[in-house]
Amino acid sequence: MSLADEGPARGLAFSSRTMLALVLVGIVSLAGLAVLSAYAPDLRGGNDGQAHALSKSAIGYSGAPILMKALGAPVVVSRARPLRPTSSVVILTPEPGLGPKALQAYPKGPMTLIVLPKWQAAPDPLHQGWVRKVGLVKGGDTFTDLLSSYAPISRVARSKGRFRHVLRGVSGGFANRVGMSIGPVDRLQTLSGDGWAPVLVDEGGRIVLARSKKSPGIWVLADPDLLNNQGLVNLETARAASLMLTALRGGKEPLLFDVTLNGFERGRGLGRLMLEPPWLAATLIAVATGILMGLHALARFGQPRRKGRAFALGGRALVDNSADLVRMARKEHEFAPAYAALTNALVARAAGHTGGQWLDELARRRGAASPDDLAAEAATAKTRDDLMAIARKLHDWRGEMTRERR
């Protein structure tokens, strides 16, 4: 097989269209990845089975916002941490292991309800979003550090068995309630400690809902089964939960269920900032500028030029270099007299004479300027513009004298 036959087989591996398509796909993919990375926290559904207001599992609290909305209360499930204390009633659902500084640093509302964790659960392998009980969170003085900002001692105790209970109001909005029945609760969790004042107690006088003596706006619900999804399944428990939240809001303040302490805080990074108004306009302008620059580059640059010599050879290169030196020195006007003399010589040669009086006589007969006058005017040139003016006159004079225009 000859080399000529092998030529077509040695073509480009990819056509220009294929390369352009690959570049466009890469740009679009990169842009999509940047947008998804900026909004990743918002894209998390929250149905992970944990104990927060986005979870639909048994230990989650998604049913509480739905219940209060149905009762006409304004409710917000917040993914953004307030920058300052809010006017809403805040419901916090800290998970086991949360540090006291994180809980204390959260901006509180006029009333804040902290729901203590109780159950340890694992995801159900057969149903997404469901959980299976693994055990109980450690009791005793476990929550003393978490609640240290509101009471010096916080001790948790649990009853044995699953029973129905009747709660009794002691203070707050429940002072006049003699008895409030709730559904069956597995191992009712109660709170005790010197810094806590009872709001709701069980039959034995143990605190189920407490108020901080140091910070009266801080309430703590000891047993989450009075507010989570498995508790709200029971009508009596749902009624007690609605009364408790209504007492917190005083009948008018909105409810804010926080999920930022559970890891669902909305991001505030630079990428998100550039994709939202008012900086979105600047981002779009930058993208459009990049696209236009790319299109300009494609239209401007084609087949690469062969690199020439650093120093050109030949007479023309010598003339060009000399002209550049004269231009850099700004001495172009000094060539005006020489150009006038060259024009006279060319006219005389075209007429077959050597100039002199005969050229002056010919100019007079044809109504043209005198060669001496043009030479005198050329001698007065001081600038490049003067040189251009006299050069035009000499060109027109030559055409008139030699009849080149005709």
The pLDDT assigned to 269 comes to: 66
Domains by residue range for the chain, with CATH: 47-262 (3.40.50), 269-301 (no CATH), 315-402 (no CATH)
Band (402; pLDDT cuts 50, 70, 90) = confident
Residue 13 has pLDDT above 80, yes or no: no
Q: How far apart are CA 258 and CA 266, in angstroms?
A: 12
Residue 382's CB: how many other CB atoms inside 10 A? 10
Residue 224 has pLDDT above 90, yes or no: yes
Structure tokens at 240: 């007690």
The larger pLDDT score, comparing residue 185 to residue 276, is at 185
Predicted structure pTM score? 0.61
Band (191; pLDDT cuts 50, 70, 90) = very high
The larger pLDDT score, comparing residue 316 to residue 382, is at 382
CA of residue 246 relative to chain centroid, distance: 39
CA distances from 218 to 69, 77, 95 (A): 23, 19, 18
The pLDDT assigned to 368 comes to: 81
The pLDDT assigned to 6 comes to: 46
> Model confidence over 128-173: pLDDT tens digits?
878 888 889 988 888 999 999 999 999 999 999 899 999 998 887 7
Structure tokens at 46: 């929250």
Please give the average per-residue pLDDT across 339-343, as a whole number.
Answer: 88
Percent of all residues in the chain with a pLDDT value above 90, rounded to a whole number: 34
CA distances from 334 to 293, 316, 374, 379, 397 (A): 45, 21, 15, 8, 20
> Model confidence over 39-57: pLDDT tens digits?
766 666 677 888 999 999 9
Band (4; pLDDT cuts 50, 70, 90) = very low
